Amino acid sequence: MHRSGIVTIFLLSGVMQPALAQDRAVERPLFATDSTLELTIEGPFERLTRERHAKPELDGIVRYTDAQGQEVVLDVGLSPRGNSRLDICSFPPFW
Render pLDDT for 45-86 as a digit per residue (tens, 0 to 9): 888 888 877 777 889 999 998 888 889 999 999 887 777 766
46 plus 81 within the same structural domain: yes
52 plus 74 within the same structural domain: yes
Q: What angle do CA 62, 64, 70 make, to 5 degrees?
A: 130
23 plus 67 within the same structural domain: no
* Domain tally, the chain: 2
66 plus 82 within the same structural domain: yes
Residue of higher predicted confidence among 32 and 43: 43
pTM attached to this predicted model: 0.56
Residue of higher predicted confidence among 89 and 44: 44
65 plus 26 within the same structural domain: no
Other CB atoms within 10 Å distance of the CB of residue 52: 21
1 plus 45 within the same structural domain: no
Return the H-helix or E-strand segment holding 21: helix 3-27
27 plus 40 within the same structural domain: no
Tell me the pLDDT band of 18, cut-offs 50, 70 and 90: low
Full domain range(s) for residue 17 = 1-32
